[in-house]
Amino acid sequence: MTSRNRLARRSRVDHFGASVAGPAHRALRRPNEDQWFGASGAFGSLVVVSDGLGSKSQARHGAKKACIATLRAVRAWHKTGTCSIDDLVGRIEPLWLEEIAPFDRADCAATCLLALAHVGGWAYLAALGDGMVAVRVQGVIERVEHPRGSGFSNETQSLGSGGVWATRCFECSEIDIAVLASDGVSDDLRSDRLADFIAWLNDEFAHLQPVARWRSLRRELTHWPTPRHLDDKTIAVLAWPSKEAE
């Protein structure tokens, strides 16, 4: 393998994911209100997960447009060369408001989680609302979660609510996997088993071919082992190439 091919292999960050409607929505014949998206481009590699708030009439639309708005924000942000994560997340809601038109923000409220492996060598992670962003940094699991709301309503923060993002940055050279999960998954994960869960995703799925990987992950989400689970379930992953493969 030439040095150029080694560099291309080392810089490539794979992305994959799957999403399924939960038993509650399947029973009511309602669509999945979670959405996920993955893309690679001049900016690097990106995954996004969004959960449309179930009480909203256009929840699925809001979640879908959250993924589109995030990709638009990343592309525009990359071109500026600012490398500020606050600048990146600050671009998302205005673009989301454009995307959801003609619907009102109150009817489209959706959470937004993202993980970006930027070509500049940094991983940018952000969360707005419920769900989980987790990354394995030199073998240690780090979480980037937005605190749940307080008070009687306890409504999650979301696009459309003017919420505050939780953000973190890491050097890509220190990371081997980043995982996003909607609350239908994250609420069922015990903190003392999170490292095992992330290792399972990396070991069982990261090296499969894309179609087989999607089918296998979707099957696992459909047959989720937690008793009496009801929510839609979504997982999206960024997987860095192993050092042994370089």
Mean pLDDT of all residues belonging to the chain: 88
Output the domain CATH number for residue 28: 3.60.40.10
Which residue range is the domain that position 112 belongs to?
A: 14-241
Count of domains observed in the chain = 1
Q: What is the pLDDT of residues 116-144, one digit of tens each?
A: 999 999 999 999 999 999 999 999 999 99
Pick the residue with more confidence: 153 or 194?
194
- pLDDT score recorded for residue 172: 96
Nearest CA to 92 out of 127, 118, 57, 58 is that of 127
Structural domain contains residue 9 = no
Of the candidates 29, 1, 49, 7, the residue with the CA atom closest to the CA atom of residue 185: 49
Instruction: Tell me if 4 is assigned to some domain.
Output: no
pLDDT over 60 at 151, yes or no = no
Asked if residue 128 is part of any domain, the answer here is yes
| 223-232: pLDDT as tens digits | 988 776 778 8
Q: Is residue 182 part of a domain?
A: yes
pTM given for the model: 0.90
User: What mean pLDDT do residues 166-173 have?
Assistant: 96
Q: Which of 24-33, 78-87, 231-240 has the lowest mean pLDDT?
A: 24-33
Q: What is the pLDDT of residue 97?
A: 97
Residue 3 lies in a domain: no
